C-alpha cells in the first residue's frame, strides 16, 4: 500500500525532529511512531555516535505493547547491523511494529538491508518515498557515503583575463560587495574552509563567514590550513571561533581525517596553489569562479599547473550556471560525467 497523507505528515515531523541531532559522521535521523488509528504515539531522533538510533529512541518512550500494530515513519531505512547499538530493524520487529515507511535507502554496505529484513518478518514496508525534506536533510551525508570523502567546492576570484592579483600582489578587492557576500554565504554553508600557508602568510585571512555588517555568521566553517610552513601565533586564523586544523600536502589524507571528524562539505578558496592542487588531484566536485570585469595582465594567474601539457589533456568541466552578482559574474561548474567525456 502506498504512503498515506497521515504518514506524509508524520514524515515531515520526523524530518523536523531529526534536526535535533548533531550532524557529523552519523546521519541525522528522525522517527515517528503512529498508532493504527494514525495518532502520534512517540517520536525520536539520533543524538550522536554510540547513542540509540531514532527508531529505538522513539520506541523507548513507549511502554508494554504500545507499539504492537503501529507504524514507524523514518527518514532513513532502519539499519540492519550491530555496531555500538543493535539493528533497528530487529528492534522494530521485536516491538511488534506492523508497518514501516522510510524515505531514503541506507547506502551503507554493512547497515543496508533493513527493509528486506522487515519484510521477511512479515512487516509491511513502504520503501524509498524520497520525501524532499528527508532528501535535503541527508543530502550532504549521502554525498560523503558516495564519494568516500567530504564534498569539495573549489572557489577563486579572478579578473576577466584570469588573474588573481595585480603584479604587486594586491588582490583586495577584485570582486565587488555582491560577490563577496555570496562567498560568505557559501562559507557559512560549509563545514570546513581551506587555505594554503602561502595565503595565510601573505594575506592573513580570518577564514570566517561574515554578515553584510561585518559581524560573524552563526554558522562557522572549521579553518583548515594546507602546507608545512608554521602558522604564526598572531595570525588572524588562530582567532577563528573554531580551532584551526593544519595538514601537510597529502590532500587525500586531509580529507580522510576531515571525514572522520564529521565534515561533509569543504570550501577551498585560499590561493592558486591549493586550488590547483585540488583540481590536479581530481578532488573538486564543484568549481565556483567569480569573474570581475577588469583586466590586470601579468603573471599572477588564478590557477597554476594542472599537469596539462597539450590541449587534448585539458580538464573540461560541465557549465552548470552563470549568475550576475552586481558587476561581477559567478560561473558554477561540475566535473563531467563519464558519459560526457
pLDDT digits (tens, 9 = 90+) for 164-197: 888 877 777 889 999 999 999 999 999 999 999 9
Please give the domain boundaries of the chain with CATH numbers for all domains.
5-142 (3.40.140.10), 149-340 (3.40.430.10)
- Taking CB atoms within 8 Å and a gap of at least 24, the contacts of 139-144 are 140/23, 140/264, 140/265, 141/23, 141/27, 141/28, 141/264, 142/104, 142/107, 143/264, 143/285, 144/259, 144/264
Q: What is the DSSP letter of 138?
A: H
Give me the active site residues, please.
55
**Are 226 and 238 a contacting pair, CB within 8 Å?**
no
Cβ proximity of 235 and 200 under 8 Å: yes
In terms of Cα–Cα distance, which of 149, 115, 135 is closest to 14? 135
Q: What is the pLDDT of residue 324?
A: 97
Grid coordinates of 99: 508497518
- Residue 339 reports pLDDT greater than 90: no
Over residues 209-242, the pLDDT tens digits come to 999 888 999 989 999 999 999 999 999 999 999 9
Q: What is the mean pLDDT of the chain?
A: 91
Provide the pLDDT confidence category of residue 271 given band limits of 50, 70 and 90. Answer: confident
Count of CB atoms within 10 A of residue 206's CB? 15
Residues ≥6 apart with Cβ < 8 Å to 67: 33, 41, 59, 95, 96, 97
pTM, entire model: 0.83
pLDDT reported for residue 83: 63
pLDDT confidence of residue 111: 66
d(CA 226, CA 245): 9
Distances, alpha carbon 56 to alpha carbons 28, 43, 53, 173, 190, in Å: 14, 10, 5, 53, 30
In tens, the pLDDT along 275-322 reads 999 999 999 999 999 999 999 888 888 888 888 888 988 888 999 999
Amino acid at each position: 500500500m502506498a504512503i498515506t497523507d497521515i504518514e506524509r505528515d508524520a514524515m515531515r515531523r520526523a524530518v523536523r525532529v531529526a534536526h535535533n541531532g548533531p550532524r557529523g559522521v552519523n546521519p541525522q535521523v528522525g522517527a515517528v511512531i503512529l498508532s493504527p488509528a494514525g495518532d502520534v504515539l512517540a517520536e525520536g531522533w539520533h543524538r550522536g555516535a554510540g547513542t540509540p538510533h531514532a527508531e529505538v529512541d522513539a520506541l523507548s518512550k513507549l511502554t508494554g505493547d504500545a507499539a504492537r500494530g503501529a507504524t514507524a515513519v523514518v527518514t532513513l531505512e532502519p539499519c540492519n547491523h550491530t555496531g555500538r547499538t543493535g539493528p533497528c530493524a530487529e528492534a522494530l520487529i521485536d516491538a511488534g511494529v506492523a508497518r514501516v515507511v522510510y524515505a531514503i535507502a541506507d547506502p551503507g554496505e554493512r547497515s543496508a538491508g533493513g527493509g528486506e529484513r522487515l519484510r521477511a518478518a512479515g512487516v509491511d514496508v513502504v520503501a524509498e518515498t524520497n520525501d524532499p525534506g528527508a532528501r535535503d536533510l541527508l543530502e550532504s551525508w549521502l554525498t560523503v557515503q558516495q564519494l568516500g570523502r567530504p564534498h569539495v567546492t573549489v572557489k577563486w576570484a579572478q579578473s576577466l583575463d584570469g588573474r588573481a592579483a595585480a603584479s604587486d600582489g594586491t588582490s583586495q578587492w577584485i570582486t565587488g560587495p555582491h560577490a563577496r557576500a555570496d562567498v560568505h554565504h557559501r562559507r557559512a554553508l560549509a563545514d570546513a574552509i581551506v587555505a594554503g600557508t602561502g595565503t595565510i602568510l601573505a594575506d592573513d585571512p580570518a577564514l570566517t563567514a561574515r554578515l553584510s555588517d561585518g559581524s560573524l555568521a552563526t554558522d562557522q566553517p572549521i579553518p583548515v590550513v594546507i602546507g608545512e610552513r608554521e602558522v604564526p601565533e598572531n595570525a588572524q586564523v588562530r582567532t577563528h571561533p573554531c580551532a584551526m586544523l593544519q595538514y601537510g600536502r597529502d590532500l587525500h589524507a586531509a580529507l580522510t581525517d576531515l571525514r572522520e571528524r564529521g565534515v561533509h562539505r569543504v570550501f577551498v578558496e585560499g590561493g592558486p596553489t591549493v586550488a590547483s592542487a585540488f583540481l590536479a588531484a581530481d578532488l573538486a566536485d564543484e568549481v565556483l569562479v567569480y569573474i570581475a570585469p577588469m583586466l590586470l595582465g601579468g603573471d599572477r594567474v588564478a590557477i597554476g599547473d594542472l599537469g596539462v601539457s597539450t590541449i587534448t589533456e585539458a580538464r573540461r568541466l560541465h557549465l552548470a550556471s552563470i549568475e550576475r552578482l552586481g558587476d561581477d559574474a559567478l560561473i558554477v561548474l561540475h566535473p563531467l560525467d563519464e558519459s560526457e567525456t
